[in-house]
Structure 1
Amino acid sequence: MRKTPSAAGGGRNRAALVEKARVSIREGSHSFHAAARLFDRTTRERAWLLYAWCRRCDDIADNQHLGGELGDQSNAEDRLKAIRLLTRRALDGLPTADPAFDAFGLVASEVGLTEEMAEAVIEGFALDADDWRPRTEADMLRYCYHVAGAVGVMMAVVMGVSPKDTDTLDRANDLGLAFQLSNIARDIVEDDAAGRCYLPAEWLAEQDIEPGQHTKPHHREELAEMAARLVDLVEKHEAAARIGAARLPFRSRWAVLSAARIYGAIGRKVRKLGTEAWNHRVYVPRYQKAWHGIVAFVQAVINRPRQPAEPIDWGIADFRPNA
C-alpha cells in the first residue's frame, strides 16, 4: 500500500485555503474580521487560517454552524475524538478532507504551532462536553484560558512572537482572557438558555442565588453586579495585554489594540446597561469599531501603554489545571 505523502496543508493549494479561511472569519466574527484587516498581508492570511480551525473545531464540538444554534449534544466524545484526529493529521501534513483543518496544518508549518498549543484549545471544548461548571473564579479563568487565552498564545506566534518568549505569550493569554470574560458577561442569559453557566458557583452563593435561577427576573440586580465584576477582570487583563502588545510590530500592535478596544467595549456596555444588559444582544456597531480603530492607531504610534493598576504577577501557568 502506497503511503500518503506529507505536505503542509494536506497538499491543498495555499491560495484556496486562504480564501476559504477569509470567508469563514467574515461570516463567523465581524469583530475579528475587522481587526484582522489591520495586519500586514502575510500575518492577516495566517490569522485567517488559524481562525478557520478555531471556528471549525467550535462548530464540531457544539454541533452547530458558524456559532449558531446548538445542535444535538449527544456523542460529544466522538466529536472531540474527531477534532483531535483531524488536528493530528493536519499537523503531520496529511490530508483531512476538511479545509479548516488543512488550513491549520498549513499555518502551523509556517510559524511553528505545536500539538500542545492545539490541545490547550481542544481541552476547552472537552470541558463544555462534560457540562463543566466553574466553582471558583480561578476555575472560570482556567476555562477562559482554554477557550480563548490559548488561542491568543497561538495568535501571538502567528504575529512573530517566539514560542520561547514566555512573558509576551503570557500577555497574549491576558488578551484572550479579556475577550472571553466580555463574552461571558454579554451571553449570561443566552448561555443559560443553552444549559450552560460560566459564572463561578461561589459568586452565585455569595449572592444567595439558587442553582439554575441566576437569570430569573428577580435576580437581575445581582446579575448586573456579577457582570460588573466580570468587566473589572476584563480591564485588569486588558491592561496587562497592552504591555505585551507594545512589543509587537506596528501593524500587529494596531490590530491587537483595536480588537482589545472593540471587545472591551462590549463588556463595558454590559456594565453600563446594568439590569437591562440582556434585553437584547449587546454589540459594537460599525461606526464605533471604526472609531476604536482610529484610537488604537494613535495608541500604536505612541506605544507607551499605561502600567496596570496592580503588579503583573501571574502567567499562563496560573490558568492551567492544577496550577
Structure 2
Amino acid sequence: MTDRELDAAGIDDPALRAAYRHCRALNARHGKTYFLATRLLPVEHRPAVHALYGFARWADDIVDSLDPALGTDRRLEALTRLAGALETGLREGHAPQPVVAALAHTARRYGIDHAHFHDFMTAMRSDLTVTDYPTYADLRGYMHGSAAVIGLQMLPVLGTVVPRQEAAPHAAALGIAFQLSNFLRDVGEDLDRGRVYLPADLLAGHGVDRELLRWSRDTGRHDRRITAALREFEALTRGVYRQAAPGIGMLHPRSRPCIRTAFVLYGGILDAVRRDGYAVLHRRAVVPRRHRAVVAADGLTRVALARLRARGAGYATPPATPSPRPAAAPAAPARPVAEETV
C-alpha cells in the first residue's frame, strides 16, 4: 500500500501500516477485478476496503486451498482460530494477526456492524461440509453470509446520500451479483473442489445433475442441457444486477465511480462466459484486458467529474467514525494459511 494512501487515512502506527499493506497485497494478487476498481476510490478510503477484502480473502483461502494435506479437520481448526482472533480483535480493537488487526481497526473506525463479520464466518464454515444447494433460496441463504454482508460492510466506508438502510438492500444485492458471476465462471473449478453452487432444481429443470457435469468436465465434451442450465443461471444473475443497480446512485458521489466500474467489470464476466459458448466446465472465461482498460479509463473520467461537482456542490469526502488508537500494535505481517487463487 502506498504511503500516500496510509497518510491520507491517518494511519501512522508502523505495525498497523504494515498490516494494511499486507491486506492490499492479498487483494492485488488475488482480486484483480475489484482491486482495479478500488483504485478509483478516494485515496483515504482505500486502506479500509483492502482490510475488508483482505480478511475475506484470507478466510476464503483457508476454505478453498488445494493443498491435499489441509483436510477438512485442519481447515475447520484454522477457521476456528481465525474466528477467535476476529472476536478478540473486534472486542479489543487490535490483534497480533495483521489481517485481523487491519479489519478490527477499520470496523472500529467506520462503526461497521460486527454481525456482518460473524455471518461471514458462519458461511465459510458451511463451505467445509455443504457441497450443493437444492434451491436458489438455499443458495441465497448461504450468500447472505458469503457475499451480501460484504456489500453491507462496505456501505459505511463508501458513504451514502440517502439513509444507509435505504441503500443496504442494493449493496447486499451487488455483493450477491458479484458472487453469482464468480460461481458461473468457476463451475469447473468448484466441481473439482467437490462443490456445485448452481441450484439443483435449476439444473434438474434442464435434465442436468452432478454426474453429467462431472462427465463434461472429465471428457471435455459439451452437452446442450448443460448449456441451457448455464444460460438460465446467467439470466438469473443479470436479474440480481438489475436489483443492485439503483444503489450506485445512492452512494457518495466520490465512491460511485469505483462501484460502477466494479459493476461493469463483474458484469463483463457474464459477457465473457456467453462469448465463450458457456464452456466454463472446460476453461475459465476471461474479460479481455482491452475491455478492462476502457472501463478503468471511463472510471477515471468519472472520478475527475465527481471531484469537480463535489467542489461545486460542497460535498465532503465520505466521513469516517473517529476511533481511538488500538491499545497495542499488531505484529509484523505473516503469510495467510493458504494463498491459492479462488
TM-score range, shorter chain: 0.7 to 0.9
Unmatched 5+ stretches in structure 2? 1-10, 307-342
Does residue 86 of the first structure (1) align with residue 85 of the second (2)? yes
SS class of match (1:251)? coil
* Count of residue pairs the alignment pairs up: 289
Letter in 1 for 2:186: D
> Once superposed, which parts of structure 1, at least 4 consecutive aligned residues long, lie more than 4 Å away?
68-71, 161-164, 295-302
Does residue 288 of the first structure (1) align with residue 291 of the second (2)? yes
Letter in 2 for 1:254: P
Partner of 2:212: 213
Change (3 A) 1:237 1:193: same
| Higher mean displacement: 291-300 or 216-225 | 291-300
Partner of 2:156: 157
Does residue 114 of the first structure (1) align with residue 117 of the second (2)? no
For the residues of structure 2 that align with 1:298 and 1:162, how far apart are their CA atoms?
Answer: 21
Does residue 229 of the first structure (1) align with residue 232 of the second (2)? yes
For the residues of structure 2 that align with 1:159 and 1:39, how far apart are their CA atoms?
Answer: 8
Partner of 1:198: 197
Letter in 1 for 2:258: A
Over the aligned positions, Cα root-mean-square deviation in angstroms equals 2.6
Does residue 271 of the first structure (1) align with residue 274 of the second (2)? yes
Once the 2 structures are TM-superposed, how far is the Cα of residue 79 of structure 1 from its aligned partner? 2.6
Of the three residues 226, 239, 259, the one matched with 1:256 is 259
For the residues of structure 2 that align with 1:239 and 1:210, how far apart are their CA atoms?
Answer: 29
Change (3 A) 1:278 1:214: closer
Deviations for 1:64-108, whole angstroms, at most 9, x for unmatched residues? 3xxx66762321432332121011111023653310011110100
Query: Superposition pairs for residues 58-207 of structure 1, below 5 Å?
Result: 58-62=60-64, 64=65, 72-75=70-73, 76-93=75-92, 95-161=94-160, 165-207=164-206
**Larger RCO (CA under 8 A, 6+ residues apart):** 2
| Higher mean displacement: 40-49 or 78-87 | 78-87
Once the 2 structures are TM-superposed, how far is the Cα of residue 298 of structure 1 from its aligned partner? 6.8
Once the 2 structures are TM-superposed, how far is the Cα of residue 152 of structure 1 from its aligned partner? 1.1
**Given the two structures, how large is their TM-score scaled by the length of structure 1?**
0.81
For the residues of structure 1 that align with 2:210 and 2:286, how far apart are their CA atoms?
Answer: 28
Once the 2 structures are TM-superposed, how far is the Cα of residue 194 of structure 1 from its aligned partner? 1.1
**Given the two structures, how large is their TM-score scaled by the length of structure 2?**
0.77
Letter in 1 for 2:226: L
Once the 2 structures are TM-superposed, how far is the Cα of residue 48 of structure 1 from its aligned partner? 0.8
Once the 2 structures are TM-superposed, how far is the Cα of residue 238 of structure 1 from its aligned partner? 1.6
- 1:60–1:83 Cα contact (<8 Å) kept: no
Once the 2 structures are TM-superposed, how far is the Cα of residue 150 of structure 1 from its aligned partner? 1.1
Deviations for 1:123-155, whole angstroms, at most 9, x for unmatched residues? 221221122421111112222222111111111
| Higher mean displacement: 140-149 or 111-120 | 140-149
